[in-house]
Amino acid sequence: GENVEQHPSTLSVQEGDSAVIKCTYSDSASNYFPWYKQELGKRPQLIIDIRSNVGEKKDQRIAVTLNKTAKHFSLHITETQPEDSAVYFCAAGGNQGGKLIFGQGTELSVKP
Amino acid sequence: GAVVSQHPSWVICKSGTSVKIECRSLDFQATTMFWYRQFPKQSLMLMATSNEGSKATYEQGVEKDKFLINHASLTLSTLTVTSAHPEDSSFYICSARDSGSASNEQYFGPGTRLTVT
């Protein structure tokens, strides 16, 4: 079945440093790759997404890159701030009625 | 815009009883909604895809007779956990796609925390 692997499971950085989270997916038919930020007890919040016809997308301090051949995509956060601390999830899907398969999550901690 | 609500936000029920959770798209129509379950410190696990006017599509390993899904209108899907057991205690989250948009974006509800005693 479809699978999304996400690494690392935890990431601790100093304020101002960059953070990178990586995901791989198994279903080559996937064409939509969103990233979510989730705070404890809250709903996932979309922070950026990318479609399969694009290799890179940037929104201020956040960027996502996609390598369709290798089935890899990554989230890059620059100039991290303490308020970036949360759990981040990648997901892949878009086909099969638009369903998404989520990665295992990365707990990001930004230390002031 | 693109707001999804869930009701209730939390519920406690006794083992063996059934619980219904509602998911509503407030300002858009959704022919497709999704139900997820999230255990503490774990990821969102897709349970089923809810299709307006037709049967839901369940993911492998999810018991369709235990988790009943009804998507009777373009703005409402319900998940009923039947004969609930303590192991069903979890955070249940729904999401919806805007039928009027070509985007794949899913809009998430705030979640329902179910505790079975």
Query: pLDDT digit string (tens) for A30-69?
Result: 999 999 999 999 999 999 999 988 899 999 999 999 999 9
Whole-angstrom Cα distance, residue B98 to residue B32?
8
Hey, which residues 1-60 in chain B have their CB within 8 Å of chain A?
32, 34, 36, 42-46, 49, 51, 57, 60
Residues 6 or more apart in contact with residue A40 via CB below 8 angstroms: none
Joined together, the tokens standing for residue B21 give 């959770």
What is the average pLDDT score of chain B? 95
H/E run at residue A102 = strand A100-102
Query: pLDDT digit string (tens) for B100-113?
Result: 888 889 999 999 99
Residue A44: asked if its preceding bond is cis (omega within 30°), the reply is no
Query: Beta partners for B6?
Result: B23
Q: How confident is the model at residue A98 (pLDDT cuts 50, 70, 90)?
A: confident
Nearest by CB: B111 against A32, A43, A103: A43
pLDDT mean over B54-65: 94
Query: pLDDT digit string (tens) for B16-31?
Result: 999 999 999 999 999 9
Q: Which residue has the tokens 């794949």?
A: B104
Instruction: Note whether B104 contacts A51, CB cutoff 8 Å.
Output: yes
Residues 6 or more apart in contact with residue A79 via CB below 8 angstroms: A16, A18, A61
**Residue A53 has what DSSP assignment?**
T
Q: Is B115 on the interface with A (CB under 8 A)?
A: no
Provide the residue count of chain A.
112
Whole-angstrom Cα distance, residue A100 to residue A97?
9
